[in-house]
Amino acid sequence: MYPDRFSNVMIGYLNLATLLASIPVIGAGLWLAKGSTATCSSMLQTPLLVIGFVVLLVSLAGFVGACFHVAWALWLYLIAMMLLIAFLLGLTVFGFAVTAGGGGTQVPGRPYREYHTSEYSSWLQKHIQDAKYWRPALACVVGSKACPKIANWTPMDYLQHDLTPIQSGCCKPPTACAYSGGVAVGAQDDDCFRWNNAAGILCYGCDSCKAGVMEKVREDWHKISVLNVMVLVVLICICACGCCAFRNARRSGSNYPYGVNRMHKIHPRWDYYWWRWWRDRREQLY
């Protein structure tokens, strides 16, 4: 095997692996499309399907082009790969910008944090305030059964155990709220008056609940953004190998195969003529 053909073999195996990996991604998207509407994962069905099919098509083009030296397939593969890299780069930058801020505020004497909508990016605030997005998110919160898990907690449990962002914002009133006979008294946060002990109400209508959802979204997006950075590095490496494979595919289809120099093709004995010229020149000098 010629050394410069190694890129063809390597990119063939790499794209075969990514082609096989796209199958469970597409399957997960199809499952989410038919899954329960009470799960938050249903919001990921469209991105999963799009990413899965794009990876499938790009990998197939790269695999065929590299293994069978099809220059036009590799050309399409390189264009699609560059577009995918640009898309992921933009998505990663956007993800880090959206996930800036947040994190909540530690409650004194308690192991959990409380969250406020003002701590998050303006885009995320506007997104979650829109009823079109908030209604499915609220259905996700209710369907997650996060609040029934702490329904029987005692005051001592709140002093000893941590809470998830959803539980902290949606399943209890803010810690600073003061109640008399189950009714909020005095000038307090509006969420203190929105709280209701009924299992179907709780603090689902509170701003703290929206903040808890935004914190969960922030955590997930941050993890995805970190993963995107690693994926970008891999895609750039594969794209570099694809450029080598594309060059090899073009050379294999031309009149100058691997290891044959164009000048040698035109003048097959150029080295012999060079040697004769050098010999005659030395005889003239000496």
**Whole-angstrom Cα distance, residue 217 to residue 221?**
6
Return the pLDDT at 273.
57
C-alpha 35: how far from its chain's center? 22
Residue 42 amino acid letter: S
In this structure, the strands spanning 179-180 and 183-184 are: antiparallel
**Whole-angstrom Cα distance, residue 30 to residue 34?**
7
pTM: 0.69
Q: What pairs with residue 180 in β-bridges?
A: 183
Residue 117 amino acid letter: T
The two three-digit tokens of residue 239, written as one number: 């794209």
Cβ distance 172 to 112 under 8 Å? no
**Whole-angstrom Cα distance, residue 232 to residue 241?**
14
For tokens 């035109």, name the residue: 266
Return the pLDDT at 192.
92
101 Rama sector, left if φ>0, alpha if ψ -120 to 50, beta otherwise: left
Output helix, strand, coil percentages for the chain, rounded to the nearest 5.
70, 5, 25
* Whole-Å CA distances, 211 to 101, 112, 127, 192, 273: 12, 14, 12, 15, 81
In degrees and rounded to multiples of 5, residue 260 shows phi and psi of -105, 125
Return the pLDDT at 147.
92
Longest dimension (CA), the chain: 119
**Whole-angstrom Cα distance, residue 29 to residue 49?**
5
**Whole-angstrom Cα distance, residue 256 to residue 96?**
48
| Predicted confidence pLDDT, tens digits, the chain (286 residues) | 444 455 566 667 767 766 776 676 677 667 655 544 433 545 556 666 777 788 788 777 777 766 776 666 667 777 877 887 888 788 788 878 888 888 889 999 899 999 999 999 888 888 888 888 888 888 888 888 889 999 899 989 999 999 999 999 999 999 988 888 778 888 788 999 999 988 888 999 999 999 998 898 888 777 777 777 877 787 787 777 767 766 665 555 554 444 444 444 444 454 555 556 666 766 666 5
